Amino acid sequence: MPEHVIKNIIDLPAGKCRVVHACGTEVVIFSHNGAYRAYKNECPHQGAPICGAFEARLEPQHIEPLRGRRPDIVRCPWHGWEFEIADGVSLIDPAIRLRQYPARECGDDLIITVEPD
């Protein structure tokens, strides 16, 4: 599977996201709790971009802090479906999830592995 290097990922502040393109796929990178998560920038419901436009900012209302059993989430801007940032699993149906891509840090950069659709 093709690997793509995202330069200077360390410049992405915590709680924000960056949209990149790899293999013709729009990928959103979340910086969250000291780690980076890479997902296809497409909600599995009706295809909304889960992180808006290029260099979009993950607004505070799209992240819910840990409260009791409730995990940190990203909330789709169209109809409000919620997914755990950590693994992309839907809170209402664990069978539904964001498409996640492997991501690993390499110095200041992030390497993601994206399968073409």
Q: Which stretches of the chain bind ligand FES, using CB under 6 A?
A: 43, 45-46, 48, 76, 78-79, 81
Residue partners of 41: CB distance under 8 A and separation at least 6: 19, 26, 27, 28, 49, 50, 51
* Beta carbon of residue 88, minimum distance to ligand FES (angstroms, whole number): 13
- Quickly tell me which residue has 């997914």 as its tokens: 83
- Quickly tell me which residue has 């992405």 as its tokens: 12
Residue 70 or 79: the one with the smaller Cβ distance to ligand FES is 79
* Beta carbon of residue 74, minimum distance to ligand FES (angstroms, whole number): 10
Residue 27 or 43: the one with the smaller Cβ distance to ligand FES is 43
* Beta carbon of residue 114, minimum distance to ligand FES (angstroms, whole number): 21
Residue 6 or 74: the one with the smaller Cβ distance to ligand FES is 74
Residue 6 or 84: the one with the smaller Cβ distance to ligand FES is 84
